[in-house]
Amino acid sequence: MIYVGIIVAICAAEFFVRRRVNKNFSTNENREVGRLPIRLRKYHNEGMANNTLEKKPQLVKGIGIGVVSILTIMFLLAMTLKGKSALKAGLALILGGGLANLLERFRHGYVTDYVQFKVPIPFLKKLIFNIADFCVFIGMAVLMLREIGKQC
């Protein structure tokens, strides 16, 4: 049940953070975060990563539904297995992040991103993320480390 809680917590956290960002930030407004190499910046992403397919919102929604559906099936199958906590946690993180973004996209037609890194790498400094994105990345890392650990 803890894994379902992870999914719900990610969706709830994103809902409240995005609501606050949308209420308190103007579009593309930058706010520095102390001395950290991070800035907060509200951006409405109408496409997928890096605004890919922004001119095809129905396709983006369809891809999102497909990915979240497959992840849901994988998660439900994993929940029937004994043990496998890394698998379940990784899938819960990925599913929670994907579902949070999909719900936002259906609710508003876009996903609110708000974390940008101040780095000297041109490609990376253009990207803007949200908590759901980080959950997907962390979940993928958990699954990759799990697989690497099985190889040793």
Distance (Å, whole) CA 51 – CA 80: 36
A 10 A CB-CB count for 107 gives 11
Q: Tell which residue, 37, 40, 105, has the closest CA to residue 67.
A: 105
Which three-class secondary structure state does DSSP give residue 150? helix
Binning the chain into helix, strand and coil, the percentages to the nearest 5 are 65, 15, 20
Dihedral (C-alpha) 124, 53, 135, 92: value to the nearest 10 degrees? Answer: -160
Q: Which residues are catalytic?
A: 113, 133
DSSP character for 84? Answer: -
